[in-house]
Amino acid sequence: MLSFVTRRLLSSIPVVLAVLALCFLLVRIAPGSPFATERALDPRTKAMLEEKFGLSGSLAEQLVRYGGNVLRGDLGDSLKFRGRTVAEIIGQSLPRSLLLGSISFSLALGLGVPLGAWAAAHYGRKTDSFLNSVALLTLSTPTFVLAPVSVLVFAFGLKLLPPAGWGTLSQLVLPAICLAIPFIGVCARLTRGGLLETLGSDFIRTARAKGVTETKLVYLHALRPAVLPLVAYAGPLAANILTGSLVIEEVFAVPGIGQFFVNGVINRDVFLVSGVVLVYCLLLLLFNLIADWLTALLDPRIRAAS
Amino acid sequence: MKLTRSALILLGLLGLLLLAAILGPIGSPYDVGELSDNHLLPPSSHHWLGTDLHGRDLLTRLMYGARISLLVGFVGASISLLVGVVYGLIAGYTGGRVDNLMMRFVDVLYALPRIVLVIVLISLFDLKLKAMLDGTLFAPFATHARLLLLFVGLGLVEWLTLARIVRAQVLTIKERPFVLSSRLIGQSTPVILVRQILPQVLPIVITYLTLALPAVILEESFLSFLGLGVQAPLASWGTLLADGASMLNPVETPWWLIVFPAAVLVGCLLLFNLLGDQLRRMGADAGR
């Protein structure tokens, strides 16, 4: 198990570095300067600024300098939010996004899995087809559609919840639900599909012959192998929630990492963009690693093979 | 494969949508860019879905938006289809170390925040590409540089799943007798791939298209909503929804600017997803 983890981590390092380099170069090649203001910038001032932030010299020199700094743990300074380091910005904004994301993640799984299991237990009946339609509807309703509509209805129409902001519990409700809903349907469908496949297998027939009740059969015996596709989906789910968060933070004015990322791209804030992409990559790699590890834990066949 | 009745109904609805996108703007009494003094009118018999901040007719804008959204969807999905099928065919048929390496690459890409990279690519390369196209044969396309980047960027996001599916299929198909016999009579590898194996994976590919289409449309709207996708004077459904969302205020929000683009988007995605479900179910029945 340990060798599996180290091997995966080691093979991920070059990928992360490559993505980081690509990102840095893309932002640097792009037209438009992070130092641009309303007035034309004096070339000498520009040169001084570039010198100060370590953006002078050829692209290769800049990249090597930046790469070296990152390896030493220095993500550089933000070019637009003057006087703040990228590490500081990420340190402040990431926990908010993580909190929001993890609530939505739990909601998607916590509602999706029981719904899917319920549908599978009623396979072919009215409940099943009704739940299927609901799942299809939620997964066809993207986050960026839900967000403005729910603000319109629940914040301004019914005046139940605050429309935006960050800090209180009630301000968390709408963004977390909007971020979770599209993925509830996906989770439900994966659970249902996995369960139906498992329920047709031999060990279930044996258990049924042994006299295990149907409820126990579905929720206890079959669920464990049936959640395997769901575990495999955990990585992509995290990625989707991460990108969905960009919109949610925009609409609900959540000062999370996504806002800084979008601003950074628009402002050509090279260190900020690269830093956030680095964090995103590391997060997702971690998630996929955990998912693979869980798969091995749940599936005895894979455990034996590794 | 015989179409079920619900599949036919869904295809009919899809046809109506296409018709509205193609013919609608022509039949509309309003011009899409036409500014008027009728700011923010609610739905009425003159403007069925109301007007926006600049007095433009929302229904006309939505039908124009359908052109952009569907176009990006179709082209993006086709690109992902092409890349995914070719990649999967090569990996699956070659097998061995090449296959291993190619699929490892797919795994790596799976674990990356692809849409985030597309955002970086699109918003940063837009002007560069425009400058590159200007003065060449392709100058007419220069104004649509961003649209071209969207096609490619989103196409490159969605191909991974298909590559995996096609590879898995090819792995079993290539061991079947008819492939072995065509190799025996000396058919070359490209011929075997195109004439023998490709027709076998085609049904799955078509089913997958109904999955990739809504995914690409969704991603384009997502980017446009953030202001990073399609840009004025072009407008997609995502742009229109973002326009509506920017008018959100506690006093008096023009609800029609949010509700109608949202309904159109959800309706379209639902349509494609339902169609995909039907096709997959028919495929499963046929396979039995």
Q: How far is CA A82 from the centre of its chain?
A: 28
Backbone angles phi, psi at A212, to 5 degrees: -70, 140
Kindly state whether residue A71 falls inside one of the protein's structural domains: no
Region A175-189: mean pLDDT is 92
Higher pLDDT: A201 or A105? It is: A105
- Domain holding B172: CATH number? 1.10.3720.10
Task: Decide if A283 contacts A240 (C-beta within 8 A).
Answer: no
- A27/B124 touch (CB, cutoff 8 Å), yes or no: yes
For B89, the token pair is 């065919």
Cα–Cα distance measured from residue A216 to residue A197, given in angstroms and rounded to the nearest whole number: 17
Kindly state whether residue A206 falls inside one of the protein's structural domains: yes
- A145/B113 touch (CB, cutoff 8 Å), yes or no: no
Complex prediction ipTM: 0.82
Confidence of residue B288 (pLDDT cuts 50, 70, 90): very low
Task: Decide if A79 contacts A273 (C-beta within 8 A).
Answer: no
Kindly state whether residue B16 falls inside one of the protein's structural domains: no
Kindly state whether residue A10 falls inside one of the protein's structural domains: no
How large a percentage of chain B has pLDDT more than 90? Answer: 11
Q: What part of B 227-246 touches A (C-beta under 8 Å)?
A: 228, 238, 241, 244-245
- B250/A235 touch (CB, cutoff 8 Å), yes or no: no
The C-alpha of A63 sits at a distance from chain B's nearest C-alpha, in angstroms, of 17
Q: Which amino acid is at A214?
A: E
Could you tell me the pTM of the whole model?
0.85
Q: Is the pLDDT of residue B1 over 60?
A: no
Q: Give the Å distances, CA to CA, from B273 to A96, A132, A136.
A: 33, 12, 7
The C-alpha of A253 sits at a distance from chain B's nearest C-alpha, in angstroms, of 12
Kindly state whether residue A80 falls inside one of the protein's structural domains: no
Confidence of residue A67 (pLDDT cuts 50, 70, 90): confident
- B119/A265 touch (CB, cutoff 8 Å), yes or no: yes
**Which chain B residues are closer than 8 Å to A280 by Cβ?**
113, 116
The C-alpha of B265 sits at a distance from chain A's nearest C-alpha, in angstroms, of 8
Strand partners, A85: A77
- B110/A265 touch (CB, cutoff 8 Å), yes or no: no
Q: Exposed, middle or buried by CB within 10 Å (0-12, 13-18, 19+), for A17?
A: middle
Kindly state whether residue A304 falls inside one of the protein's structural domains: no
The C-alpha of B288 sits at a distance from chain A's nearest C-alpha, in angstroms, of 15
Nearest to A247 among B108, B225, B244 (CB): B225
Q: Which of A36-45, A135-144, A269-278, B265-274 has the lowest mean pLDDT?
A: A36-45
Domain span including residue B272 = 58-286
Domain span including residue A104 = 95-269
**pLDDT value of position A304:** 60
Task: Decide if B50 contacts B254 (C-beta within 8 A).
Answer: yes
Nearest to A243 among B116, B259, B274 (CB): B116
Kindly state whether residue B14 falls inside one of the protein's structural domains: no
Cα–Cα distance measured from residue B238 to residue B224, given in angstroms and rounded to the nearest whole number: 5
Q: Is the pLDDT of residue A306 over 60?
A: no
Q: Is the pLDDT of residue B62 over 50?
A: yes
For A133, the token pair is 């339609």
- B112/A19 touch (CB, cutoff 8 Å), yes or no: yes
- B266/A281 touch (CB, cutoff 8 Å), yes or no: no
Sign of CA dihedral A115, A116, A119, A121: negative
Backbone angles phi, psi at A198, to 5 degrees: -65, -40
**pLDDT value of position B287:** 52
Identify the residue among B101, B104, B109, B120 best suited for mutation to test binding to A, counting A beta carbons within 10 A and taking the highest.
B120
Q: Exposed, middle or buried by CB within 10 Å (0-12, 13-18, 19+), for B175?
A: exposed
Residues B103-154 pLDDT 10s? 888 877 777 777 887 888 887 777 777 777 777 767 666 667 788 888 888 8
Q: Which of A273-287, B50-64, B261-275 has the lowest mean pLDDT?
A: B50-64
**Which chain B residues are closer than 8 Å to A251 by Cβ?**
245
Kindly state whether residue B261 falls inside one of the protein's structural domains: yes
Region B258-283: mean pLDDT is 87
**B131 inside 8 A of chain A by CB:** yes
For A77, the token pair is 């300074």
Nearest to A144 among B222, B255, B270 (CB): B222
- A288/B226 touch (CB, cutoff 8 Å), yes or no: no
Other beta carbons less than 10 A from residue A189's beta carbon:
23
Residues A289-300 pLDDT 10s? 888 888 888 877
**B103 inside 8 A of chain A by CB:** no
B104-122 as b/e: b if 16+ CB within 10 A: eebebbbbbbbbbbbbbbb
Nearest to A144 among B116, B131, B225 (CB): B225
Encode chain B in three state secondary structure: CCCCHHHHHHHHHHHHHHHHHHHHHHHCCCCCCCCCCCCCCCCCCCCCCCECCCCCEHHHHHHHHHHHHHHHHHHHHHHHHHHHHHHHHHHHHHCHHHHHHHHHHHHHHHCCCHHHHHHHHHHHHHHHHHHHHCCCCCHHHHHHHHHHHHHHHHHHHHHHHHHHHHHHHHHHHCCCHHHHHHHHCCCCHHHHHHHHHHHHHHHHHHHHHHHHHHHHHHHHHHHHHCCCCCCCCCCCHHHHHHHHHHCCCCCCCCCHHHHHHHHHHHHHHHHHHHHHHHHHHHHHHHHC
- Domain holding A223: CATH number? 1.10.3720.10
B218 → chain A, closest CA residue: A142
Average pLDDT, chain A: 85
How large a percentage of chain A has pLDDT more than 70? Answer: 95
Q: Is the pLDDT of residue A33 over 80?
A: no
Task: Decide if A230 contacts A195 (C-beta within 8 A).
Answer: no
Domain count, chain A: 1
Q: How far is CA B250 from the centre of its chain?
A: 35
Strand partners, B57: B51
The C-alpha of A285 sits at a distance from chain B's nearest C-alpha, in angstroms, of 6
Q: Angle at the Cα of B116 (from B114 to B120), degrees rounded to 5?
A: 115
Sign of CA dihedral A282, A288, A292, A293: positive
Q: Angle at the Cα of B161 (from B158 to B165), degrees rounded to 5?
A: 140
Confidence of residue A112 (pLDDT cuts 50, 70, 90): very high
Average pLDDT, chain B: 83
Q: Is the pLDDT of residue B272 over 60?
A: yes
Cα–Cα distance measured from residue A149 to residue B9, given in angstroms and rounded to the nearest whole number: 29
Residues B153-185 pLDDT 10s? 888 888 888 898 899 888 888 888 888 888 888
**Which chain A residues are closer than 8 Å to B226 by Cβ?**
144, 246-247, 250, 262
Nearest to A152 among B113, B253, B266 (CB): B253
Task: Decide if A273 contacts A261 (C-beta within 8 A).
Answer: yes
Nearest to A262 among B221, B226, B258 (CB): B226
Strand partners, A77: A85
Cis peptide before B233 (omega within 30 of 0): yes
Identify the residue among A149, A270, A281 best suited for mutation to test binding to B, counting B beta carbons within 10 A and taking the highest.
A149
Q: Which of A244-248, B62-66, B140-144 has the lowest mean pLDDT?
A: B140-144
Domain count, chain B: 1
Q: Is the pLDDT of residue A102 over 90?
A: yes
A159 → chain B, closest CA residue: B250
**pLDDT value of position B232:** 74
**pLDDT value of position A2:** 66
Cα–Cα distance measured from residue A216 to residue A212, given in angstroms and rounded to the nearest whole number: 7
DSSP secondary-structure letter at A222? I
Dihedral angle at the C-alpha atoms of B246, B250, B256, B261, nearest 10 degrees? 40
How large a percentage of chain B has pLDDT more than 70? Answer: 94
A30 → chain B, closest CA residue: B124
- A250/B115 touch (CB, cutoff 8 Å), yes or no: no
Q: Give the Å distances, CA to CA, from B260 to A148, B27, B50, B267.
A: 12, 20, 10, 10
Q: Exposed, middle or buried by CB within 10 Å (0-12, 13-18, 19+), for A90?
A: buried
Task: Decide if A95 contacts A167 (C-beta within 8 A).
Answer: no
Q: Which amino acid is at B237?
A: W
Cα–Cα distance measured from residue B154 to residue B157, given in angstroms and rounded to the nearest whole number: 5
Q: Give the Å distances, CA to CA, from A165 to A113, A169, A176, A290, B38.
A: 30, 11, 13, 32, 33
For A296, the token pair is 């091995």
Element (H, E) at A297: helix A270-298
**Which chain B residues are closer than 8 Å to A141 by Cβ?**
266, 269
Kindly state whether residue A277 falls inside one of the protein's structural domains: no
Confidence of residue B2 (pLDDT cuts 50, 70, 90): low
- A141/B131 touch (CB, cutoff 8 Å), yes or no: no
Q: Is the pLDDT of residue A240 over 70?
A: yes
